[in-house]
Structure 1
Amino acid sequence: MLCLLAPLVQAQQIDPKVFMALESARTAQQAGNLSAAQRALDDALKSTSAGSLEQALVQQRLGYLAIEREDYAAAVRWLQQGLAQAQLSAEATQQDRRNLAQLLVQQARYQEAVTLLEAEGVGNLPLATRRLLVQAYRELKQYRKAIPLAEQIVRANPAADDVWYQLLAGMNYELQRYGDAIEWLQVLVRRAPQSSGNWRQLASMQSMAGQQTEAAATLRLAHEGGVGLRKSDLDNLVALHAQAGAPWQAARLLDALIEQQLLPADREHQLRLAQLWQASRDRAQALQAWQQLARQSGDTRYWLQVAFLQYQQNDWAAMQATLGQFRPANAEQRRQVQSLRNAAAAAQAGL
């Protein structure tokens, strides 16, 4: 949190007793005697009238004292009461409002903080307070409001911490603005070209945008640049897409990685590719992948997958030809072969 400081007592005429109590509390607080400061303010509050400037000033000081005591719930309550009096100067009101917003965000009361700051006018807020508002908007998933403010922050300070660029990429991703997310991740790659995480994030976002060829090219560029991308990193990237419910993107990415020779075209990866094409319901690609795997391995399990896909496509002749190319290895496979033939015969009879 930014440093929270109580503004000086405004130079208006107030009850001398209250003024002396405020000064006494200030002296005690500066000396580290918070209990004495609390007693002075509690006594002063009793002598103020409702809605008065004196009451607002005491409530304000009680708020800042509560901050120093790390009693943030009390601080929020006192600052809210002080502001509600509408007696403080414009400068003090503005400072209290912004500090109150910080406390509200700290307590995860994001909507209250947003309401408070928006009432002041977003365009009137300094960059530090806009950062706070971005945080609140993000927590409320109000990304369309947060993104323009975050862009203002990085444009005002191009050397801003990487977290702001990651934040912009993430919020654009949530809105499925993949192109904008890619642009911000490219900034991160340029800023830290030796960060393997930046390259992985960029490739992942390109893949989510349907740019699997570009994603593979990004990973190859990282590999050629000496960035430590391991085989497991690339496998995990494919798995993340599959787990996110995007098997088609995962299949295209894996296919591109194999073509770029970043992953080996071994049986493990060919099997995974065939499974992903099938999960994405791209039957043409799935059939081609299973056929290639079956021819190279001779495994009857893969031939059965080929026959099953041909059955789904009503390609009876091709299915029968496939079933004739191998001998079932066990009773379960014999049952599956017979089941496919019976289902095909029934389907043809019903046409």
Structure 2
Amino acid sequence: MRSLLLLLCLLVSPLALAQQIDPKVFMALEEARDVLQSGHPSAAERLLAEVLKSTNSGSLEQALVQQRLGYLAIAREDYPAAIRWLEQALAQGALDANAVQQDRRNLAQLLVQQGRYQQAVTVLEAESTHGMPLEMRQLLVQAYRELKDYRKAIPLAEQIVRANPSADDLWYQLLAGMNYELRRYAQAVTWLQVLVRRAPGNIEVWRQLASMQSMAGQQVEAAATLRLAYEGGVGLAATDLNNMVALHAQAGAPWQAARLLEALIDQALLPADQQQRLRLAQLWQAARDQNRALSAWRQLAQQSGDAGYWLQVAYLQYQQADWSALQATLAQTRPANAEQRRQLQSLRNAAAAAQINP
């Protein structure tokens, strides 16, 4: 912020000022600049505050004095005061176009620093983004993001990375994150793929990419991504794969979790053992994909002969009103305990009643 003080000497030349404004105000501005440059900002401020009293509302003189008071407030790090002075200077409508543009941009920077994002957006939107410097576009993206106005932030952020492909990774993360917030998972995947290419040794980016691919319905691609990471030796372990499946389930997306787990098993990244098959069957059932759930439970039952699994098959067949298949399943089920015998009899009774009273 202190560097903004250099603008005091650049906005309007002394000769131009002398020709436009009251000589008394001109002399005060020049003196204040000299006092400031000699290291006495408080004295400069007092001088300007005094001359401000003699200026007229809406005049160029008043706008210039308020402008200088704003930059002096920056010098003492009193940013709320700096904002007030710059707002007042701009409100006069007397400054030339270049000064207005520079003051507006500095005001926006102050507003963002103070967390006053909506006001910063209002100030920045007064300019066309077409000719806006890169740093101001970045500032506007930051303000939009803080306001959760991702639909406006994303196009500007895309302009930034396309204009500067070597932009910091933070911008690609930002684009991925904002698209995720809007549930534009496929677009988020695009930006995460850039990050993977930039940092192939970053395990966290690989995890994010695979997770986002899965959220986008690209579970096979997610599994392929995890395989690449696993074979690339970036430190991916079976626990990472299991955790990713669990995250989808915990986020209320059991179908995506099941599809990802199935793809991981198919690619031999996770073992096709009874534990994983049971997990897959439970996820399909939680996702209410009855056909896939039935297939998974039947496979478990056939491989293990476990009566509990056969009862799950029978329950799904009952829900589908597949009476012939249900009768065949019940006939071959051999309960191992009293609870299983009770469940078996309950299903028999329910099936019989449903067929009598369809």
Report the TM-score, using the length of structure 1 for normalisation. 0.90
Is the CA contact 2:311–2:333 (under 8 Å) kept in the aligned structure 1? no
1:253 aligns to 2:282 (yes or no): no
CA contact (8 A) 1:251 1:277 kept: yes
Deviations 1:230-269 (CA, angstroms, capped at 9, x unpaired): 1122122222222333221111111001111111223332
Pairing partner for 1:50 from 36, 43, 57? 57
Distance apart, 1:277 and its partner CA: 0.7
Matches within 5 A, 1:1-351: 4-5=4-5, 6-8=7-9, 10=12, 11-13=16-18, 14-30=21-37, 33-351=40-358
Deviations 1:139-182 (A, max 9, x none): 33333332332222112211111111122223333444433332
Give the match's secondary structure for 2:325. helix
Return the alpha-carbon distance in structure 2 between the equivalents of residues 37 and 235 of structure 1.
66
Assess, with a 3 A threshold, how the Cα gap between structure 1 residues 320 and 38 changes in structure 2: closer, same or farther. farther
Contact 1:7 1:92 in 2 (8 A): no
- Report the Cα offset of residue 329 of structure 1: 4.1
Question: Matched residue of 1:269: which SS?
Answer: helix
Q: After TM superposition, give the deviation of residue 330 of structure 1 in Å.
A: 4.1
How far apart, CA to CA, are the structure 1 residues paired with 2:349 and 2:36?
89
What whole-Å deviation, never above 9, does each CA across 1:89-136 have from its counterpart, x for those lacking one? 211111110111112222333232222222211112011111111222
Take 1:2 and 1:190, find their aligned partners in 2: how far apart are those partners? 39
The whole-number CA distance in structure 1 between the counterparts of 2:331 and 2:24 is 104
How many angstroms does 1:24 deviate by? Answer: 4.5
* Percent identity for Structure 1 against Structure 2: 74
Root-mean-square deviation (Å):
2.4
Q: Distance in 1 between matches of 2:341 and 2:81?
A: 75
Between stretches 161-170 and 263-272, larger displacement belongs to 263-272
Instruction: Choose 125-134 or 180-189, whichever is displaced more.
Output: 180-189
Would the alpha carbon gap of residues 302 and 31 (structure 1) be closer, same or farther in structure 2, given more than 3 Å must change?
farther
For 1:110 and 1:139, the matched residues in 2 are separated by 7
Q: Distance in 1 between matches of 2:353 and 2:41?
A: 88
Q: What is the aligned residue count?
A: 351
Q: 1:71 to 1:2 in 2, by over 3 A?
A: closer
Change (3 A) 1:303 1:22: farther
Q: Which runs of 5+ in 2 are unaligned?
A: none
DSSP-derived class of the 1:194 partner = coil
Runs of 4+ deviating beyond 4 Å: 27-34
Unaligned runs of 5+ in 1: none
How many angstroms apart in 2 are the aligned matches of 1:75 and 1:86? Answer: 18
> In structure 1, what residue type is equivalent to 2:125?
E
In the TM superposition, residue 84 of structure 1 has moved relative to its aligned partner by 0.3
TM value normalised by structure 2: 0.88
Return the alpha-carbon distance in structure 1 between the equivalents of residues 300 and 47 of structure 2.
84
Q: In the aligned structure 2, how far is the partner of 1:300 from the partner of 1:103?
A: 70
Give yes or no for contact 2:55–2:61 (8 Å, CA) kept in 1. yes
